[in-house]
């Protein structure tokens, strides 16, 4: 029954998809041009038109020729008149130019006079400015000397202050160090007592694996190997392998995997809360 | 009025061969969409079921209780079926005396393999129809188009002054068949690729579960028969 309904539903959805697509296609084809039958009559009419057209064209050409002649005559008359007018305009322009030249010469004279006066003035200004500059340099030098004296004074003061600050800081650091050491000692003390269940679990695994481990002669103290163990509820080991970093050689790695497999099951009772199907732990060996 | 009927006009004016092609393609398209919707629902259901069952299985519950529960609700599929088959076989073989652990585990494994194959087959069912539609419907559409163009050129043979306007409607109506073929093929190909990938992943998951479960059974067998 369930199957029947699922099939009907799927059928309905499929039909729905097709209806939607058909709708979109019809909608988008609305703007197409409708088909028209091809127009076949135009071709014959064109052939008749050629004959009458030629006669009309010849008549038209004769009329156009006469018009062109008349137009040329009037054009020549107009050109003669234009020439006369231009000659008069040029004479007038010449007279005007003479007048302009006279005016220009007078202006030039005036300009030269003014220039000479200005040069004299400039020379006087320059001399005065040089004297001023000499005076300025002298004053600046005096000012710089005074500044230097003040600066030396300030430096001396700064030096004394810095020494005082450094002394204070050294004392503060010493104090802080002492406090930090105290805090670290306290934390260590606390951690020793309150190791979490998870840590105990890892310690238990570590000791179980170590018990089953036949240490190969090449394994050195300081060995760190990341082991990945898959187990099932109850602690039975399904698989074990080296995952990632391991600073032992090939024999050591193999011996570790063999140790886990020999152990067969990991501690479970009492650690149900921290049980994980995949355990990722770092095996440590620091010498006996 | 005339312009919005055009596409229907084109289809109705087509020759009967082209019409047959178009009807075939329409049916193929509807069918493949049906399968697309069905499979999508089925695969997502199977995936959710697998996730839920794995979580239940690895949470550390008692296996025989889990077996009883899964027997009681008979809608179980996928992982649940594999688990049921393996556990049932294991329990039955255990009752017979004189069995070695290897034989016990092998029997359970065989039962699980059969269940796995059955489940995979169920998931893959109908998928090959999508592949067929995806690969053949463009050719069917093309056949319709070629036929339509052939006939529309045939009609040109007796006319002295041929214009493009005389062949255009015929070609246009023939091209509708190709469009329909592509419309049927594209979703089918996409869905086929997607679903076969999903089925593969589910199968890998089932296989992994089967291996892990049989290693558990092996341990149990050793404990039962030796200890």
Determine phi and psi for A229, rounding to 5 degrees: -120, 130
**What is the pLDDT at residue B127?**
92
For chain B, how far is it from start to end, CA to CA, in angstroms? 89
Contact status of B227 with chain A (Cβ, < 8 Å): no
Consecutive 10-residue runs of chain B (227 residues): their mean pLDDT?
A: 57 82 93 93 91 82 80 76 88 79 87 92 91 94 91 81 79 88 94 95 92 85 75
Average pLDDT for chain A? 83
Q: Which residues of A touch B38 (CB under 8 A)?
A: 6-7, 10
Least-confidence region, from A43-52, A130-139, A227-236, B192-201? A43-52
SS3 percent helix, strand, coil of chain B, rounded to 5, is 85, 0, 15
A59 φψ region: left (φ > 0), alpha (ψ -120 to 50), beta (else): alpha
Give me the mean pLDDT over the A240-256 stretch. Answer: 84
Cβ within 8 Å of B, A 94-133: none
Share of chain A above pLDDT 70, in %: 89
Q: Are B84 and B64 in contact (CB under 8 A)?
A: no
Q: Are B48 and A267 in contact (CB under 8 A)?
A: no
DSSP string, B123-154: HHTTHHHHHHHHHHHHHHHHHHHHHHHHHHHH
Q: What angle do CA A200, A202, A204 make, to 5 degrees?
A: 70
Q: Are B173 and B10 in contact (CB under 8 A)?
A: yes
- The 10s digit of each residue's pLDDT in A49-84 is 555 677 788 888 888 888 888 888 888 888 888 888
- The 10s digit of each residue's pLDDT in A151-193 is 999 999 999 999 999 999 999 999 899 888 888 887 776 665 4
Paired tokens of A185:
């000692």
CA B170 – CA B162 distance, rounded (Å): 14
Whether pLDDT at A255 is above 70: yes
CA A164 – CA A173 distance, rounded (Å): 15
Whether pLDDT at A194 is above 70: no
Least-confidence region, from A136-145, A206-215, B124-133? A206-215
Helix (H/G/I), strand (E/B), else coil: A236: strand
CA B136 – CA B143 distance, rounded (Å): 11
**What is the pLDDT at residue A192?**
58
Q: Has the ipTM of the complex gone over 0.85?
A: no
**Distance between B75 CA and the closest CA of chain A, angstroms:** 11
pTM given for the model: 0.54
**What is the pLDDT at residue A42?**
47
Which residue out of A9, A37, A38 would a mutagenesis test of the B interface target, given it has the greatest number of B Cβ atoms within 10 Å?
A38
Of A23-32, A109-118, A265-274, B167-176, which has the strongest mean pLDDT?
A109-118
pLDDT band at A43 (very low <50, low <70, confident <90, very high): very low
Contact status of A36 with chain B (Cβ, < 8 Å): yes
Q: Which residues of A touch B36 (CB under 8 A)?
A: 14
Nearest by CB: A7 against B38, B165, B183? B38
List Cβ neighbours of B113 (8 Å cut-off, separation of 6 or more).
B210
Record: contact A35-B31, CB cut-off 8 A: no
Domains delineated in chain A: 56-156 (no CATH), 195-285 (3.30.1150.10)
Nearest by CB: B38 against A6, A34, A40? A6
Handedness of CA A235, A239, A243, A249 (dihedral sign): positive
Nearest by CB: A34 against B3, B33, B35? B3
């Amino acid at each position: 029954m369930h199957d029947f309904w699922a099939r009907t539903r799927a059928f309905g959805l499929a039909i729905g998809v097709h209806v939607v697509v058909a709708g979109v296609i019809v909608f988008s084809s609305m703007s197409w041009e409708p088909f028209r039958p091809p127009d076949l009559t135009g071709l014959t009419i064109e052939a008749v038109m050629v004959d009458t057209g030629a006669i009309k064209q010849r008549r038209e050409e004769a009329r156009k020729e006469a018009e062109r002649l008349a137009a040329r005559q009037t054009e020549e008359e107009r050109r003669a008149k234009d020439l006369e007018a231009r000659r008069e305009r040029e004479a007038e322009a010449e007279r005007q130019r003479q007048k302009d030249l006279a005016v220009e010469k007078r202006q030039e004279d005036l300009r030269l006079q003014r220039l000479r006066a200005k040069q004299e003035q400039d020379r006087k200004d320059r001399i005065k400015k040089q004297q001023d500059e000499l005076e300025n340099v002298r004053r600046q030098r005096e000012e710089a000397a005074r500044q230097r004296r003040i600066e030396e004074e300030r430096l001396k003061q700064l030096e004394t202050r810095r020494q005082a600050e450094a002394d204070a800081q050294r004392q503060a650091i010493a104090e802080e160090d002492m406090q930090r050491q105290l805090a670290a000692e306290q934390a260590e003390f606390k951690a020793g007592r309150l190791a979490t269940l998870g840590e105990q679990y890892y310690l238990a695994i570590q000791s179980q694996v170590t018990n089953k481990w036949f240490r190969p002669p090449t394994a050195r103290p300081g060995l760190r190997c990341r082991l990945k163990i898959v187990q099932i509820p109850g602690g039975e080991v399904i698989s074990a392998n080296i995952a990632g970093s391991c600073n032992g050689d090939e024999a050591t790695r193999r011996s570790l995997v063999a140790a886990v497999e020999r152990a067969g099951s990991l501690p479970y009772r009492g650690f149900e809360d921290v049980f994980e199907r995949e355990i990722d732990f770092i095996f440590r060996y620091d010498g006996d | 009025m005339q312009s919005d009927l055009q596409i229907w006009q084109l289809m109705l004016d087509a020759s009967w061969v082209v019409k047959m092609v178009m009807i075939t393609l329409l049916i193929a398209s509807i069918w493949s969409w049906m399968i697309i919707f069905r499979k999508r629902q089925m695969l997502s259901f199977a995936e959710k079921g697998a996730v839920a069952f794995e979580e239940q299985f690895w949470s550390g519950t008692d296996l025989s209780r889990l077996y009883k529960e899964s027997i009681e609700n008979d809608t179980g599929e996928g992982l649940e079926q594999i688990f049921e088959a393996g556990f049932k076989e294991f329990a039955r073989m255990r009752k017979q005396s004189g069995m070695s652990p290897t034989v016990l585990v092998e029997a359970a494994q065989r039962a699980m393999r059969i269940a796995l194959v059955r489940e995979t087959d169920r998931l893959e069912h109908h998928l090959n129809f999508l592949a067929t539609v995806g690969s053949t419907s463009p050719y069917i559409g093309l056949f319709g188009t070629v036929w339509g163009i052939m006939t529309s050129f045939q009609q040109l043979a007796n006319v002295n002054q041929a214009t493009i306007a005389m062949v255009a409607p015929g070609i246009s109506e023939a091209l509708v068949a190709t469009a329909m073929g592509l419309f049927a093929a594209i979703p089918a190909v996409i869905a086929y690729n997607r679903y076969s990938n999903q089925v593969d992943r589910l199968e890998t998951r089932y296989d992994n579960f089967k291996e892990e479960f049989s290693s558990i059974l092996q341990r149990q067998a050793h404990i039962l028969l030796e200890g």
